[in-house]
């Protein structure tokens, strides 16, 4: 049921929201406080935005989604002010996967920004990815993220260090409209239809649109949905615990298959382990463990994980062993079902984790936030008079709801299926494992990535992006085709290398067994000699 929890009500919602533009004029008090649309004067609704009197957007939160929105609004010539509680951006946070769909959105927002991000990243879209049995180290299924990207003219997926990504996003705003060390604490809707925000430094600001880009525990979302702002913390309102905590780390390690393989997931009952090449000789990993929330180890994490994975393959234990204890962090994973009643209330809307927090299994959390930012900037640029704000924000929410809901559902289902005994057959029964693996490789995973790598840009931006990608050397057709062919060649090379590695591993095992046998034989002779002397 979890795979469909997001989708069922979407179509009814879409029909209901689009049935009549005039419906919003008859609304009473907006949930979350403020003035109804029918109380707003006709003159204020019909006032036109100009250079002297521009539309102003207030962004609450300066994470990936908020900074991307700032860049997108800047590219559209829309005025904005972004408030971020952090006083300065520091080098904090591990690498983040920026997949092809998100890179295309960045390319549409600012091609120079996209180029910088991609140059800073490590390309993973031209290598093998897949699911493995942690006990036998055999592949369950392999998947290709290059083909669906190339088929739609999208850049190949990269992994980028979060500080570098944030630095690039901040750089291309040129610092305009960015207010650090100040947080949006609350807001109210004004009589003229605008929105007033209360800030953490005791001051206020006013704008025409407020965007909550303040994460899963968003204060803007809490106020908008009628939940207490003070309850914007783990466990409040509609947030649900995923059933998993995750230990994550980055280490210096170079697996022997790193030239051919980028991303691996080791599946087991009530737990799974994910690792990815993130460049510069580093591996980023995630150890997901099914347990109750708020449970913290009283001992070091690394010994605990090594004991937990003692019967798993060396690929996993080698990575954990190579990680410094101080580089391991833990967090409980929360999400919430899609908000089918809408992402907006009057001039207030949300994006990213504030709208659709999701499990990290597809690596699409930040990517969907980037798509949100692109779409929301397009919506804001379409607003010419205040009366259009509600309609454009509703269109934005409906367009983004179905897509993000499917991603949420698939991400959650990927974890849920491992809780219980369902996965055991796949790992222990060779026939079941072969059939399931073939289905995932040939049908399910291609469907997932073809859905993820849809080109969500407007027709105008699609044409402009494709033209730039073809013209620029790094994206010309021959180069892109060559990059994709390496996925196929990498698979062939990996199969050949795995055969050789298997032979070498067996030879090493035989040599060790011979040494042990010889040692045991010598000890036995010594014992027998002692016995004979006695």
Asked if residue 337 lies in contact with residue 380, where contact means CB atoms within 8 angstroms, the answer is no
DSSP letter at 441?
A: I
pLDDT, greater one: 326 or 482? 326
387 shares its domain with 424: no
What pLDDT sits at residue 16? Answer: 36
pLDDT at residue 272, as a whole number? 96
C-alpha 47/C-alpha 154 separation (Å) is: 40
- Look at residues 229, 196, 176, 180 and name the one whose alpha carbon lies nearest to residue 348: 196
Looking at the DSSP bridge assignments, the partners of residue 141 are 131
Provide the pLDDT confidence category of residue 30 given band limits of 50, 70 and 90: very low
Query: What is the pTM (predicted TM-score) of this model?
Result: 0.85
Domain final residue pick, 367, 389, 409: 409
**Rounded distance between C-alpha atoms, residue 124 and residue 127, angstroms:** 6
Residue 485 pLDDT: 57
Higher per-residue pLDDT: 444 or 511? 444
pLDDT digits (tens, 9 = 90+) for 477-534: 445 554 555 677 777 778 787 777 777 777 776 777 777 777 777 666 665 665 555 4
Domain assignment present for 171: no
Q: What is the pLDDT of residue 17?
A: 35
What is the Cα–Cα distance from 161 to 94, expressed in whole angstroms?
Answer: 6
Q: Label residue 14 by pLDDT band (50, 70, 90).
A: very low
Residues 157, 143: Cα–Cα separation, whole Å: 13
Q: Is residue 454 part of a domain?
A: yes
- Note the pLDDT of residue 388: 96
CATH number at residue 484: 3.30.9
Smallest Cα–Cα separation from 396: which of 343, 440, 353?
343
Mean residue pLDDT across the chain? 85
pLDDT tens digits for range 234-287: 555 678 889 999 999 999 999 999 888 999 999 999 999 999 999 999 999 999
User: For residues 338 and 59, which has the higher predicted lDDT (pLDDT)?
Assistant: 59
pLDDT at residue 18 is higher than 80: no
Asked if residue 533 and residue 432 are part of one domain, the reply reads yes
Q: How far apart are the first and last CA of the chain?
A: 74
If asked whether residues 525 and 471 sit together in one domain, one would say yes
pLDDT for position 483: 54
Q: Is residue 524 part of a domain?
A: yes
Residues 267 and 326 in one domain: yes
Do residues 315 and 261 make contact, with C-beta atoms less than 8 angstroms apart?
A: no
- pLDDT at 321 > cutoff 50: yes
pLDDT of 24 > 50? The answer is no
Which of these three, 409, 438, 468, is where a domain ends? 409
Which has more pLDDT, 377 or 232?
377
Query: How many residues does this entry show for the chain?
Result: 534
Helical residues (DSSP H) of 444-476, grouped into ranges: 445-452, 459-471
- Residue 419 or residue 38, greater confidence: 419
Closest CA to 94 of 157, 158, 161: 161
Q: With respect to residue 103, please indicate whether it lies within any of the assigned structural domains.
A: no
**Residue 6: is its pLDDT beyond 80?**
no
- Asked whether residue 21 is assigned to any structural domain, the reply reads yes
Examine residue 208 and state whether it is found in any structural domain, yes or no. yes
SS3 per-residue string spanning 33-73: CCCCHHHCCHHHHHCCCCCCCCCEEEEECCCHHHHHHHHHH
In a domain, 94, yes or no: no
pLDDT attached to residue 464: 81
Do 19 and 78 belong to one domain? yes
> What pLDDT does 517 receive?
74
d(CA 197, CA 205): 5
Q: Is the confidence at residue 9, as pLDDT, over 50?
A: no
Q: Are residues 316 and 252 in the same domain?
A: yes
Please give the pLDDT value at position 267.
95
pLDDT digits (tens, 9 = 90+) for 189-198: 999 999 999 9
Q: Which helix (H) or strand (E) holds 189?
A: strand 184-189
Residue 123 has pLDDT above 80, yes or no: yes
Q: What is the pLDDT of residues 420-442, one digit of tens each?
A: 667 887 888 888 889 999 999 99
Question: How do residues 380-393 score in pLDDT, each as one tens digit?
Answer: 999 999 999 999 99
Q: Are 358 and 412 in contact, with CB atoms under 8 Å apart?
A: yes
Same-domain status, 297 and 423: yes
Q: What percent of the chain has pLDDT over 90?
A: 60
| The pLDDT of residue 528 | 60
Handedness of CA 469, 470, 472, 474 (dihedral sign): positive
Do 13 and 31 belong together in one domain?
yes
- Could you tell me the residue range of the domain that residue 389 belongs to? 1-38+54-87+181-239+339-409
When divided into structural domains, the chain yields a total of 2
Find tokens 């390309």 and name the residue: 123
Q: Measure the CA–CA gap between 86 and 105, rounded to whole angstroms.
A: 26
Residue 161 has pLDDT above 80, yes or no: yes
Q: Which residues pair with 274 in a beta bridge?
A: 265, 286
User: Band of the pLDDT at 230, cuts 50, 70, 90?
Assistant: low
| 363 and 389 housed in the same domain | yes
Q: Are residues 146 and 250 in the same domain?
A: yes
Q: In the chain, what percentage of residues exceed pLDDT 70? A: 83
Q: Do 326 and 426 belong to one domain?
A: yes
With H, G, I as helix, E, B as strand and everything else as coil, classify residue 350. Answer: strand
More confident residue, 529 or 320: 320
Instruction: For residue 198, tell me if it sits in a domain.
Output: yes
- Please report, for the domain that includes residue 200, its CATH number: 3.50.50.60
Domain boundary among 387, 409, 431: 409
pLDDT beyond 90 at 104: yes
pLDDT tens string 283-317: 999 999 999 999 999 999 999 999 999 999 999 99
User: 77 and 23, same structural domain?
Assistant: yes
């Amino acid at each position: 049921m979890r795979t469909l929890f997001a989708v069922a009500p979407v179509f009814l919602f879409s029909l209901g929201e689009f049935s009549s533009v005039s419906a919003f004029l008859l609304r009473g008090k907006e949930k979350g406080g403020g003035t109804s649309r029918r109380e707003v004067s006709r003159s204020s609704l019909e006032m036109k935005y100009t250079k002297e009197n521009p539309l102003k957007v207030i962004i609450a939160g300066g994470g990936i989604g908020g900074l991307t929105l700032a860049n997108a609004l800047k590219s559209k010539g829309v005025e904005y002010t972004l408030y971020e509680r952090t006083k300065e951006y520091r080098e904090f946070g591990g690498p983040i996967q920026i997949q092809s769909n998100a890179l295309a959105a960045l390319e549409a927002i600012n091609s120079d920004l996209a180029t910088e991000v991609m140059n800073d990243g490590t390309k993973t879209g031209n290598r093998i990815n897949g699911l493995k049995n942690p006990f036998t180290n055999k592949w369950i299924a392999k998947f290709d993220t290059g083909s669906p990207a190339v088929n739609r003219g999208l850049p190949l997926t990269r992994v980028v260090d979060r500080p570098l990504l944030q630095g690039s996003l901040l750089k291309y705003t040129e610092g305009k409209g960015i207010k650090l060390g100040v947080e949006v604490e609350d807001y109210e809707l004004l009589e003229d239809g605008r929105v007033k925000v209360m800030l953490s430094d005791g001051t206020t600001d006013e704008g025409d649109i407020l965007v909550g880009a303040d994460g899963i525990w968003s204060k803007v979302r809490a106020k908008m949905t009628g939940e207490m702002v003070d309850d914007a913390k783990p466990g409040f309102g509609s947030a649900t615990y995923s059933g998993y905590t995750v230990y994550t780390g980055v280490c210096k390690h170079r697996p022997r298959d790193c030239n051919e393989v980028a991303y691996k997931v080791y599946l087991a009952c009530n737990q799974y382990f994910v690792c990815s090449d993130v460049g510069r000789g580093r591996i980023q990993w995630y150890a997901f463990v099914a347990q109750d929330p708020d449970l913290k180890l009283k001992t070091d994490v690394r010994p605990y994980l090594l004991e937990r994975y003692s019967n798993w393959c060396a690929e996993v234990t080698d990575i954990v062993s190579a990680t410094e204890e101080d580089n391991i962090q833990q967090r409980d994973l929360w999400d919430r079902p899609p908000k089918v009643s809408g992402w907006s209330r009057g001039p207030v809307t949300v994006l990213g984790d504030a709208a659709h927090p999701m499990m990290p299994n597809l690596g699409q959390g930040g990517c969907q936030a980037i798509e949100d930012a692109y779409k929301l900037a397009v919506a804001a640029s379409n607003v010419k008079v205040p009366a259009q704000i509600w309609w454009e924000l509703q269109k934005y929410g409906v367009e983004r709801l179905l897509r993000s809901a499917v991603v949420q559902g698939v991400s959650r289902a990927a974890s849920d299926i491992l809780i219980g005994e369902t996965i055991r057959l796949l790992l222990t029964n060779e026939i079941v494992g072969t059939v399931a693996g073939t289905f995932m490789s040939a049908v399910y995973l291609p469907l997932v990535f073809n859905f993820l790598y849809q080109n969500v840009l407007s027709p105008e931006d699609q044409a402009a992006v494709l033209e730039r990608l073809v013209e620029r050397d790094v994206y010309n057709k021959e180069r892109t085709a060559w990059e994709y062919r390496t996925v196929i060649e990498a698979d062939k090379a990996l199969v050949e290398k795995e055969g050789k590695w298997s032979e070498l591993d067996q030879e090493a095992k035989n040599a060790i067994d011979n040494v042990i046998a010889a040692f045991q034989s010598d000890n036995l002779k010594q014992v027998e000699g002692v016995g004979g002397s006695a």
